[in-house]
A and B are shown apart, each in its own frame.
Chain A
Amino acid sequence: MAEFFGTTVADIFNTMPKRFKPEASKGVDVVIGYDCGGEGGGKWKLTVKDQVAKVETVEGDLGPCTATIIASDAETFIGVTLQKIGAIDALSQGKMKVVGDTRMLMTLLPQIFVQYTVPEKKTEVTARGILSAIGERFRPDKAAGVTLKYGYDLTGEGGGQFTITIADGTCTLKEGLDSDLAVKMTMEAVTYVGMMTGTIDGAAAFTSGKVRIDGDMMAAAATGKYFDKYVDPNAEEAEELLSLKVVTSINQRFATGPVMGKWFAGLREKKFLASVCPLCKRTLILPQEICQFCHVRTKEYVELGPEGYVTNFDLVYFASPDPLSGEVRDTPYACAWIMLEGATPEEGFAFEIKREDLPKLKIGSRVRPVWAEKPSGSFRDILHFEIID
Chain B
Amino acid sequence: MATKRVAICAVAQHKNEPDLWYRRFQNMLLDVLEDLQEKTGFTYGENGVEMIVSTSDDFFDARTISNNGVTDVIGGQYLAEEKMAQEGLNAIGYANSIILSGHKDLVLIMGHCKESQGESRNMITNCGFDPFYGRATGLDYLNAAGLQAQAYMRKSSLTDDQLAEIVVRSRQWAAKNPYANAREAVPAGKVKASPMLCDPIRQLHAYPVSDGAVGLLLASEERAKEFTDKPVWITGFANCMDTFFFGDRDLTSNFALKKATANACRRAGIQDLKKAADVVEVMDCYAYQQPMWMEGLGFCGDGEGGRFVAEGGPGKYRVNLSGGTLAGNPLIISGLYRAAEATLQLQGGAGDRQVPDAKCAVAHSTNGPAGQFHSVLILEA
Contact = CB atoms under 8 A, between A and B. Distances in A.
A252 B119 contact: yes
A256 interface: yes
**Residue picked from B26, B44, B131, most chain A C-beta under 10 Å:** B26
B199 to A, nearest CB: 25
B20 A250 contact: no
Interface secondary structure of A, over-half rule:
loop
A359 interface: no
Contacts of B71: 292
Nearest to B24: A257
Interface residues of A, number: 21
Contacts of B114: 255
Size range of the chain B interface in the assembly: 20 to 34
Given A252-B118, A253-B117, A288 B72 contact: yes
A259 B22 CA distance: 11
A255 B22 contact: yes
B70 to A, nearest CB: 10
A323 B77 CA distance: 29
A290 B72 contact: yes
A257 to B, nearest CB: 4
A98 B21 CA distance: 35
A246 B119 contact: no
Contacts of B116: 253
Contacts of B21: 253, 255
A299 to B, nearest CB: 13
Contacts of B20: 255
A250 B75 contact: no
Interface secondary structure of B, over-half rule:
loop
A101 to B, nearest CB: 20
A257 B22 contact: yes
B75 A295 contact: yes
A252 B62 contact: yes
A255 B62 CA distance: 12
Contacts of B300: none
Given A244-B131, A290-B73, A260 B30 contact: no
Given A246-B131, A290-B73, A292-B72, A252 B117 contact: yes
Contacts of B24: 254-257, 259-260, 289
Nearest to A255: B24
A250 B120 contact: yes
A297 interface: yes
A251 interface: yes
A258 B59 CA distance: 24
Interface of B: 20-24, 26-27, 30, 44, 59, 62, 71-73, 75-77, 114, 116-120, 123-124, 127, 131-132
Given A250-B59, A288-B72, 14 more contacts: A252-B62, A252-B117, A252-B119, A255-B20, A255-B117, A257-B22, A257-B27, A258-B22, A259-B24, A288-B73, A289-B30, A290-B72, A290-B73, A295-B77
15 contacts: A244-B132, A250-B118, A250-B119, A252-B117, A254-B24, A255-B114, A255-B117, A256-B24, A258-B27, A289-B27, A289-B30, A292-B71, A292-B76, A292-B77, A293-B77
